[in-house]
Amino acid sequence: MVHHDKAAPGLNHAIVLLSCKDRKGISAAVVNFIFQNQGNIVHADQHTDDQSQTFFMRVEWSLEGFSLKREDIRPAFAAIAALFNMQWRIFFTDEKPRVAIFVSKHLHCLYDLLYRYKTGQLFCDIVLVLSNHPDARQVSEDFGIKFAESAVFHHNKEEVEAKQIELLTVENVDFIILARYHQVLTKSFVDRYPAQIINIHHSFLPAFAGSNPYLQAYQKGVKVIGATSHYVTEILDDGPIIAQDTVAISHRDSLDDLKRKGEDLEKVVLSRAVRWHLERKILSYGHKTVVFD
Amino acid sequence: MVHHDKAAPGLNHAIVLLSCKDRKGISAAVVNFIFQNQGNIVHADQHTDDQSQTFFMRVEWSLEGFSLKREDIRPAFAAIAALFNMQWRIFFTDEKPRVAIFVSKHLHCLYDLLYRYKTGQLFCDIVLVLSNHPDARQVSEDFGIKFAESAVFHHNKEEVEAKQIELLTVENVDFIILARYHQVLTKSFVDRYPAQIINIHHSFLPAFAGSNPYLQAYQKGVKVIGATSHYVTEILDDGPIIAQDTVAISHRDSLDDLKRKGEDLEKVVLSRAVRWHLERKILSYGHKTVVFD
Amino acid sequence: MVHHDKAAPGLNHAIVLLSCKDRKGISAAVVNFIFQNQGNIVHADQHTDDQSQTFFMRVEWSLEGFSLKREDIRPAFAAIAALFNMQWRIFFTDEKPRVAIFVSKHLHCLYDLLYRYKTGQLFCDIVLVLSNHPDARQVSEDFGIKFAESAVFHHNKEEVEAKQIELLTVENVDFIILARYHQVLTKSFVDRYPAQIINIHHSFLPAFAGSNPYLQAYQKGVKVIGATSHYVTEILDDGPIIAQDTVAISHRDSLDDLKRKGEDLEKVVLSRAVRWHLERKILSYGHKTVVFD
Amino acid sequence: MVHHDKAAPGLNHAIVLLSCKDRKGISAAVVNFIFQNQGNIVHADQHTDDQSQTFFMRVEWSLEGFSLKREDIRPAFAAIAALFNMQWRIFFTDEKPRVAIFVSKHLHCLYDLLYRYKTGQLFCDIVLVLSNHPDARQVSEDFGIKFAESAVFHHNKEEVEAKQIELLTVENVDFIILARYHQVLTKSFVDRYPAQIINIHHSFLPAFAGSNPYLQAYQKGVKVIGATSHYVTEILDDGPIIAQDTVAISHRDSLDDLKRKGEDLEKVVLSRAVRWHLERKILSYGHKTVVFD
């Protein structure tokens, strides 16, 4: 029984993420499903939301010596899931998510993600960088990632999104990172990728949603600024929060200082959320998330 | 020239806090006023707000050997102040502020302030604890502080405030701390004490103003909670922010955990603001503060 | 299946803390023991230390409807434990630990613990305050806790400890908090209370062990200070670390400022460790701890 | 009187950094020197170290309309400095420091510095990247910076340093950043660049000096890790500390997690120190620094 803290290339593990109405025997049923099929649990975590009486669980187990063939695992688990009326998904850790990054003109998060990707911190294939500006072309190509630019104007948003969806579909993308992409996505775009789009917003939401959060913070005179990564929903800057962090500021900090300090936060907070998503550690429900870090 | 970082009992120092439209020669004028009268500057700090072009300064100097008598200092400084159209105040560090604490049923901040007071961390005289509930009587009396209770109802707020003002006036109170006092003060009360009332709000404002901020934060699913101390203005939870701090939370934290973690923040953030106020380190302007910490 | 985040008075739960060499089937065995006896798991957490291949688990379950009588639970579990060669303990959440606090002249942690105790944050019975100075008598008695003073000199340490052990034994104390007790306990004293004594040290250990850590930090010119709570072993300031936290400082902070800022950390860090211990969330092994918070 | 928070290209400012035995009239003398020559002070800060009775000051003033020619400023100031026996340096903000970065195989800090440099956050000319490994060649050249590699072995350290000094001299380098350079510099090298070499060490010094600090931290079981930037002296990991920061960890963090979290800290802490140095905000004395941030 070898334990590994994260989904890494080459590991032959399965992960189940599930939630259901809380009642007796859920964890015993899941643990026994794995144990009786000769699986080794390498990580298990559970949580119950007291207010909604919802039960959440993440179990990761090794498939070495597992008595079910890979294609039979989901059908077999479905029987247990039905008993408890679970919402559930099973992932295999050797199947890499395919990722696109959307960005506008602030490239710090893009650089940061690409450096982490290149040095093996993010288990995925980043296959595409999309932008409404040309600025990110050079760095994308330096890192060997395909870049596509489409200027977005008031009249052509749907046309641009149609083109983007085509690119995403061709590349088989199943996870999108908005790394300071300053365009609001349409509801129809967002609906195609439920809990598959992560945004970084440069404030501690719910404060300072919308545009120019650093200016808003500066004018309000707060003594702390923050950054928030969240799943994108159709309402701007409102989806389930995954990660947040803050840093102290003072009257000595100019608006430029806020931006500079904030950008350091953004990189950390966005990459944290991205890694958790890639490692299948996040369950979102309603407006909230459970993160089994 | 002996330097001391804070106003402590027995020190014979003067402090000037000033602000004015920024222009040439302000700091030279102030520094020379002190130097030419044989004063020793023990602390000096300045700041300019780039947006409003406002200059702020705090200078603390020793009165040992100062050539002006204490009663002549303000009139003499007024001449310089007039040249630059300054807003200014001069304080003497051996004149202790007289303080009242308002509290309701959550006593953690009250305990914390009284313990700091007793152990010499707060240079003031706490002379009164006022409450709309009886809960704080015992601890106030244990620490030897006069306690007065007035239940507040919808119909008697003005009557209670009149009584409170009478108590404050008799005791010559010039600084009020709202240490979780769950009543909104009337505009007329607030107007009597401009920049002399500090409140602690249990969220990182401007998020979660109003009642039950921990519940609001819990329901929103934020990953960070905060506390904010600010001067009280007539608009609820909106005055100039003095100090803020935050702490990380996760889905594992219940609403009770939020309250417990938040209370630790509240104590630190409120006492920080109170100490800065007592040490004459805060200048407030518009919605913002400069804190020469 | 009702979930509660912490051991609270009146709950009828059992908690098992266990560790053993990692191998297949441990969690399944534990989960099934509870499930097959009609217990409801309300919290479960596990961890494996990759370096030592040690498995750790904490499971809390409700005894409502549990088919084993309370006195039969430990014998029944012993059979499972033997299979995996576990080190284990089972606790019942309605059995309150009996606690003594040792303190010298700095009373901030004592006040803080007593206030938390009084307001129901600490599930225990604090029955005794012991000191080598008289300073803590008043506050102990204000909170209704028995106080005993024994001045410690070079020649009488063993005699004093003998007297302290007698008091602890009479009061049936099973958990000791050193809340800034400035005496080194003898090995023989410490050996009586393995992993039952928690100390607060006012630095981020391993830096600045020993006396005057704030002065050491000030002289070294660090830009961050810290506090550390740990189990006491026979080596000074060296036992397994439970909690740590830090706060930024600058050249503007005098030695007194370091002490003041540090004391706020000490209170938070010590009370965090104490609460985790009381809620049976800590497993210590070698020089380290696992904290299932 | 226009205020700017930092030394930016094109500004025509002078900055004096000074220290001397504390006595009466120092700040008045400096302020008057500037004022009487028609200079505008745009930033002023002072500090006194109570223990050593040393006075520190940083004043930045605009040279627009200043009555002294640039080449006459230092000689004129020298007269004042002599009166107070000051140690002092005057800088002009349009004179960019010339910088070399030393790095080994961990490139996260190098990437980070080059990205900040490229986006205008660091006012300097980075002219050289030196390494004992080839790994940094690609990124250096992508950013258009000259790269030179010299493998260091036990027998050739002096020879390599001689070659490095030649390169530094040719390029007129006056500031060196050790961005995870895993070679100890000789005393003779260090002596050439007093307070001109900044290192990043991946622990909260003084804890875990020397090699493998993350492994040391992991084995000790600390609950917080840190990073420290400091001026390099002849004693390893011991020079005056400029900046430090920490991040919480738990038993759930593997050694790889410590490295990953630590690298994020290293980038922030190193770039903070570098920026302060470039903006002439640091005075070091003995083992400590004053940072007028």
Reported as a pLDDT band with limits 50, 70 and 90, residue B10 is low
**Shortest Cα distance, chain A CAs vs residue D130, angstroms:** 20
Average pLDDT of span D223-240: 95
Residue A6 lies in a domain: no
- Taking alpha carbons only, the member of B172, B165, B170 closest to residue B150 is B165
Contacts of C252 in chain B (CB under 8 A): 5, 293
Helix (H, G, I), strand (E, B), or coil: what is residue D7? coil
Tens digit of each residue's pLDDT, chain A (293 residues): 333 334 454 589 999 999 999 988 898 899 999 989 999 888 899 999 888 899 999 999 999 999 999 999 999 999 999 999 999 999 999 999 999 999 999 999 999 999 999 999 999 999 999 999 999 999 999 999 999 998 888 889 999 999 999 999 999 999 999 999 999 999 999 999 999 999 999 999 999 999 999 999 999 999 999 999 999 998 888 999 999 999 999 999 999 999 999 999 999 999 999 999 999 999 998 889 999 98
A254 touches chain D (CB under 8 A): yes
Which pLDDT does position C5 carry in this prediction? 39
Residues in chain B closer than 8 A to A248 (CB atoms): 245
The C-alpha atoms of residue C14 and residue C94 are separated, in whole angstroms, by: 9
- Which residues of D are less than 8 Å from A256 in CB distance? 5
Q: Give every CB contact of residue B52 below 8 A, 6+ residues apart in sequence.
A: B285, B286
Instruction: For residues A59 and A142, state if they share a domain.
Output: no
Q: State ipTM.
A: 0.93
Both D196 and D280 in one domain: the answer is yes
Subunit contact C252:B5, Cβ cutoff 8 A: yes
Looking at chain B, the whole-number percentage of residues with pLDDT higher than 70 is 97
In angstroms and rounded to an integer, the radius of gyration of the C-alpha atoms of chain A is: 21
| Chain C residue nearest residue A28, CA to CA | C31
> What was the pLDDT predicted at D262?
97
CA–CA distance, D144 with D152 (Å, rounded to integer) = 25
| Residue C151 in this model has a pLDDT that exceeds 50 | yes
Band (pLDDT 50/70/90 cuts) for residue D102 is very high
Residues A102 and A153 in one domain: yes
For residue D275, what are the CA distances in angstroms to A119, A198, C41, D269? 26, 32, 53, 10
CB contact under 8 A, B3 and D22: yes
Same domain, B224 and B265: yes
Which of C246, C250, C252 lies at the smallest CB-CB distance from D246? C246
C-alpha C211/C-alpha C216 separation (Å) is 9
Residues 94-133 of B with CB under 8 A from A: none
Q: What share of chain C is helix, strand, coil (3-state, %, to 5)?
A: 30, 30, 40
What value does the mean pLDDT of chain C take?
Answer: 93
Contact assessment for residue A289 and residue A283, using Cβ atoms and an 8 Å cutoff: yes
Please give the order of strands across the beta sheet that includes D13-21. Answer: B87-92, B13-21, B54-62, B40-49, D40-49, D54-62, D13-21, D87-92
| Per-residue confidence (pLDDT) for residue D154, from 0 to 100 | 81
- pLDDT, position C218: 96
Are the CB atoms for C81 and C19 separated by under 8 Å?
no
* Residue B2: inside a domain: no
| B146/B125 Cα distance (integer angstroms) | 12
Decide if pLDDT at C200 tops 80. Answer: yes
CB contact under 8 Å between D251 and C289, yes or no, is yes
The helix (H) or strand (E) run that includes residue C218 is helix C213-220
**Do C27 and C86 have their domain in common?**
yes
Selecting from B5, B252, B267 the residue whose C-beta is nearest the C-beta of C254 gives B5
Structural domain boundaries, residue C81: 13-92
In which band, very low, low, confident or very high, does the pLDDT at C242 lie, cut at 50, 70 and 90? very high
pLDDT given for residue B5 in this prediction:
39
- Considering only alpha carbons, which residue of chain A is nearest residue B216? A206
B126: in domain:
yes
C293 touches chain B (CB under 8 A): yes
Identify the burial level of D211 via C-beta atoms within 10 angstroms of its C-beta, where 0-12 means exposed, 13-18 middle and 19 or more buried: exposed
Interchain pair B254, A50: CB under 8 A: yes
Q: Phi/psi of residue C155, each to 5°?
A: -85, -15
Asked whether residue D207 is domain-assigned, the answer is yes
CB contact under 8 A, C240 and D251: no
What was the pLDDT predicted at D10?
A: 58
* In a shared domain, residues D260 and D145: yes
Which of D92, D112, D141 marks a domain boundary?
D92
CATH of the domain at C71: 3.30.70.260
Q: How many Å apart are CA B33 and CA B41, to the nearest integer?
A: 11
What does the pLDDT average to over C10-30? 91
Q: Given an 8 Å threshold on Cβ–Cβ distance, is D242 in contact with C223?
A: yes
Helix segments in A144-186, DSSP class H: 157-170
Place of tokens 């606090």: C101
Nearest-CB residue to D121 (from A111, A254, A260) = A260
Q: Do A250 and B222 touch (CB under 8 A)?
A: no
pLDDT at residue D151 tops 90: no
Q: pLDDT tens, D267-293?
A: 999 999 999 999 999 999 888 999 998
Number of separate domains in chain A: 2
Indicate the residue among A92, A124, A150 that finishes a domain.
A92
Cis ω for the linkage preceding A213 (within 30 of 0): no
Report yes or no on D4 lying in a domain: no
State the Cα–Cα distance between residues C73 and C38, nearest whole angstrom: 13
Angle at A284 between CA A283 and CA A289, to 5 degrees: 90
Same-domain check for residues C107 and C210: yes
What is the pLDDT at residue A10?
Answer: 58
pLDDT at D3 over 80: no
pLDDT at D136: 97
> Residue D207: which of C207, C248, C251 has the nearest Cβ?
C207
Query: How does the average pLDDT of chain D come out, rounded?
Result: 93
Confidence of residue D88 (pLDDT cuts 50, 70, 90): very high
Residue D125 annotated in active site: no
pLDDT > 70 fraction of chain D, expressed in percent and rounded: 97
Report the residue count for chain B: 293
- My answer on whether C65 and C116 are in the same domain is no
Whether residues A137 and A271 share a domain: the answer is yes
**Weakest-pLDDT range from A1-10, B216-225, D222-231:** A1-10
Q: How far is D225 from chain C (nearest CA, A)?
A: 10
Q: What is the mean pLDDT of residues C86-115?
A: 97
User: Model confidence over B75-93: pLDDT tens digits?
Assistant: 999 999 999 999 999 999 9
Domain end call among C70, C92, C114 = C92
- Answer yes or no: is pLDDT of B1 > 60: no
Helices (H), D247-293: 255-278
CB pairs < 8 Å spanning A and B: 89
What pLDDT sits at residue C152? 87
Tell me what the mean pLDDT of segment D86-106 comes to: 97
D157 and D251 assigned to the same domain: yes
> B124 lies in a domain?
yes
Comparing C-alpha atoms, which of D134, D130, D114 is closest to residue D122?
D114
CA B83 to chain CA centroid, nearest Å: 29
Q: Domain with C261 in it: what CATH number?
A: 3.40.50.170
Yes or no: say if D285 and D237 are a contact pair by the CB < 8 Å rule. Answer: no
Catalytic pick among A49, A94, A112, A237: A237
- Identify residue B8 by its one-letter amino acid code: A
pLDDT tens by residue, A228-284: 999 999 888 899 999 999 999 999 999 999 999 999 999 999 999 999 999 999 999
Is the domain of C18 the same as that of C159?
A: no
Q: Is the pTM of this model over 0.90?
A: yes
pLDDT for res A85: 97
Q: What number of other Cβ atoms are within 10 A of residue B18's Cβ?
A: 22
Single-letter code of the amino acid located at C132 = N
Instruction: Tell me if B215 is assigned to some domain.
Output: yes
Same-domain check for residues C191 and C235: yes
* Domain-embedded: residue B57: yes
Dihedral over Cα of A209, A214, A218, A219: its sign: negative
Whether residue B287 and residue A47 make contact (CB cut-off 8 A), yes or no, is no
